[in-house]
Structure 1
């Protein structure tokens, strides 16, 4: 049996975004539904990409999600303050792997953590295409050292 890794730590992330929880994020058990975390991941990544004027989705490269995953460490409730941490773990030629974590109420250990892989594609052919130096530089600004 593989030993479960501990939750991600706040200090391991270089960019943060606040997420406002909505009543419909909460399931019948009184906590944020597991599927919502993927929406939080997407919102965080897109927010980071749009922070810089990269021209994504406006005739340049488009992005598709190739893979994602999430581990849950503790529940998040409607009354919690949620902040998402983001880091870039690997930059390829046309893909990037992000690490993400959900932090509640200013805690240093993540309530949930995971990853998200984007592939940059040509909008017409839908085939992978290298991203620009501008995109690479923006991604590099929050890249972590490889483990």
Structure 2
């Protein structure tokens, strides 16, 4: 399953991520997905501070497969499941560090919009090219 992802990032869990039940709370997985996606976007050239286009999350989903707790780290795999004119579906898989066991998998859909008008725009060419490298068949 790891071979289905094109980009990898290590995500350390934090003490504050654990909930009263002793595992990383479900909402933290969404923050992890957001972190992986935006770290990749910044590296690919998205100017989150002053760029004319920004990506807004319009849909998100997460499937929880196994429990994880601090101080475990996760290997987060990123791929693109769909690349449209102004939208992209990022898919993220979380694995126990160095193992094949899936902790969770999910997706975020971003629509790229003009920062000022919030109207959809085409994905910038430099980002589209980078995203094409993450597309899976």
TM-score, structure 2 normalization: 0.95
Q: How far apart are residue 66 of structure 1 and its match?
A: 0.4
Structure 1 distance, partners of 2:40, 2:99, is: 22
Structure 2 distance, partners of 1:133, 1:59, is: 13
**Residue equivalent to 2:76:** 84
Alignment of 1:133 with 2:125, yes or no, is yes
Please report the RMSD computed on the Cα atoms of aligned residues, expressed in angstroms.
1.2
**Contact 1:98–1:115 at 8 Å: present in 2 too?**
yes
**Residue equivalent to 1:33:** 25
Q: How far apart are residue 56 of structure 1 and its match?
A: 4.4
**Residue equivalent to 2:3:** 11
Structure 2 distance, partners of 1:111, 1:59, is: 34
1:1-147 counterparts in 2 under 5 A?
9-145=1-137
> Larger deviation: 103-112 or 131-140?
103-112
Q: Closer, same or farther in 2 for the Cα pair 1:92/1:133, shift >3 Å?
A: same
**Contact 1:89–1:143 at 8 Å: present in 2 too?**
yes
**Contact 1:10–1:109 at 8 Å: present in 2 too?**
no
Number of residues of Structure 1 aligned to a counterpart in Structure 2: 137
TM-score, structure 1 normalization: 0.88
Q: How far apart are residue 144 of structure 1 and its match?
A: 0.4
Q: Closer, same or farther in 2 for the Cα pair 1:73/1:137, shift >3 Å?
A: same
Q: How far apart are residue 76 of structure 1 and its match?
A: 0.5
> Larger deviation: 99-108 or 38-47?
99-108
Q: Greater strand percent: which structure?
A: 2
- 4+ residue runs of structure 1 moved beyond 3 angstroms? 54-57
